[in-house]
A and B are shown apart, each in its own frame.
Chain A
Amino acid sequence: EIVLTQSPGTLSLSPGGRATLSCRASQGVSSKSLAWYHHKPGQSPRLLIHNTVTRATGTPDRFSGTGSGTDFTLTITNMRPEDFGVYYCLQYGRSPFTFGPGTKVDIK
């Protein structure tokens, strides 16, 4: 099983700030098989990015994904109030698929 580790666990930011979220895998992950999700309480999770770099329909361009191998990054620029919540990475290249534990981004 591929274990994903996310850091930091919590990130406090002001609106307009920049967030850099890390997702590290215990084994190499295909760049076509890494996705990022945003989850807010009371809502269903929402896909932001798949295939490491491809924004989902409706994902603003202030969200960008990079990485390869075992190290992946989600960068959010110009943070807006609606961007706060928990961000998860997922590898879907090898079964069992696995999520990271999440990074909580809250308002400073």
Chain B
Amino acid sequence: EVQLSESGGGLVQPGGSLRLSCTSSVFPFHNYAMNWVRLAPGKGLEWVSAISGSGTGTYYADFVKGRFTISRDNSNKTLFLQMNSLRAEDTAVYYCAKNWYLEDWGQGTPVIVSS
């Protein structure tokens, strides 16, 4: 059974930064693209970002371009999301998901952007 576990969420002030991590039991990790998806209170799912298995291809939703950076460490089977210039509207539970079609999901980590 694939296990994905997110961490790094928390309370941050507007304009602040957070780095989310997603550790994985996926093997071989480098064979799979990975995604970040978020669910804001009272809203629907939003795709945030994706990265190819090798890490050479990165993709972003327009609302995070220039603020968020996705990366991965294949040797440690870990996915990252560096989030800068956070806004109140970034408040959400952030999930990591395996494969281009989001085959498996983690349990999510909450991010609250508030003063």
Q: Do A and B belong to a common assembly?
A: yes
A residues engaging B (CB < 8 A)?
1, 33, 35, 37, 39, 44-47, 50-51, 56, 86, 88, 90, 92, 95-102
Residues in B whose Cβ lies below 8 Å from that of A88: 44-45
Give the number of A-B contacts (CB < 8 Å). 61
Bound complex: CA A92 to CA B46 (Å): 12
Chain A, residue nearest B93 (CB): A44
Looking at the complex, which one of A35, A95, A96 makes contact with B102 (CB distance below 8 Å)? A35
Chain B, residue nearest A95 (CB): B59
Contact (Cβ within 8 A) B44 A90: no
- Contact code string B62-102 (vs A, CB < 8 Å = 1, else 0): 10000000000000000000000000000000010000111
- Contact code string B42-71 (vs A, CB < 8 Å = 1, else 0): 001111001000000001111000000000
- Contact code string B25-49 (vs A, CB < 8 Å = 1, else 0): 0000000000101010000111100
Bound complex: CA A50 to CA B59 (Å): 20
Contact (Cβ within 8 A) A96 B44: no
Assess whether B9 is interfacial by the CB under 8 Å rule.
Answer: no
Contact (Cβ within 8 A) A86 B103: no
Contact (Cβ within 8 A) B50 A95: yes
Contact (Cβ within 8 A) A44 B107: yes
Residues in A whose Cβ lies below 8 Å from that of B101: 33, 35, 47, 50-51, 90, 92
Q: How far is the CB of A88 from chain B (nearest CB, A)?
A: 5
Contact (Cβ within 8 A) B102 A47: yes
Contact (Cβ within 8 A) A45 B95: yes
Looking at the complex, which one of A50, A95, A97 makes contact with B103 (CB distance below 8 Å)? A50
Residues in B whose Cβ lies below 8 Å from that of A100: 44
Residues in A whose Cβ lies below 8 Å from that of B108: 44
Contact (Cβ within 8 A) B47 A96: yes
Assess whether B14 is interfacial by the CB under 8 Å rule.
Answer: no
